[in-house]
Amino acid sequence: MFDFTRNHFELFGLPARFRLDAAALERAYRELQRDVHPDRYAGAADHEKRLALQGSARVNEAYRTLKDPVARAEYLLQLSGIDATAETDTRMRADFLMRQLERREGADDARAGHDESALAAILADVQRESGQLLADLESVLDGDDREAARMRVRELRFLAKLGDDLRDMQLAELDR
């Protein structure tokens, strides 16, 4: 099918950097899927179907990784030999952790008082901080400061988890 050893960026013909031309990624993804998706090979021989399946799954995986900024940053770090996803690595800035702790407490209070607007405010706050970290990430990662990038990636993961939890709380309020 195609060269499975190419990295995600090469697969889509994009430069290996954090700043991304989202429209170009989208376009390359669709074009590749049009050609490798199993639907193209619905009536094909078994070995071709298998190739199409693997190729299409590979394209999906690459797209999923590059589309999500945090996953993209992790992947870039991984390409340069840094594992930002190791669970044993729990180092984080103290002021960052303090802020999240306060948000958790605020969310618990909001939930106890069924205060939907307070929940929404905390979520907006989390999204704001994530946006700031992402902007930072672009300068440190494309500027080759990998240690600073690793730290921000970890913090972004942390915020993403907190954001998910907040959204679950919002959903629970919806169902109430």
Binding site for other proteins (CB under 8 A): 1-2, 13, 27-28, 30-45, 47-48, 51, 53-54, 56-58, 60-61, 63-64, 167, 170-171, 174-175
What is the nearest approach in angstroms of other proteins to the Cβ of residue 81? 19
- Classify residue 143 by burial, with Cβ atoms within 10 Å: 0-12, 13-18, 19+: exposed
Return the number of the residue (50 or 104) whose C-beta is nearest other proteins. Answer: 50
What is the nearest approach in angstroms of other proteins to the Cβ of residue 114? 17
Return the number of the residue (12 or 18) whose C-beta is nearest other proteins. Answer: 12
Greatest Cα pair distance, the chain, in angstroms, is 61
Q: How far is Cα 50 from Cα 57, in angstroms, rounded to an integer?
A: 11
What is the nearest approach in angstroms of other proteins to the Cβ of residue 38? 4
Return the number of the residue (61 or 89) whose C-beta is nearest other proteins. Answer: 61
Return the number of the residue (44 or 135) whose C-beta is nearest other proteins. Answer: 44
The conformation of residue 39, written as its DSSP 8-state character, comes to G
What is the nearest approach in angstroms of other proteins to the Cβ of residue 93? 28
Q: How far is Cα 126 from Cα 163, in angstroms, rounded to an integer?
A: 7
Long-range pairs for 104-113: beta carbons < 8 A, 24 or more residues apart: 104/162, 107/165, 107/166, 107/169, 110/169, 111/169, 111/172, 111/173
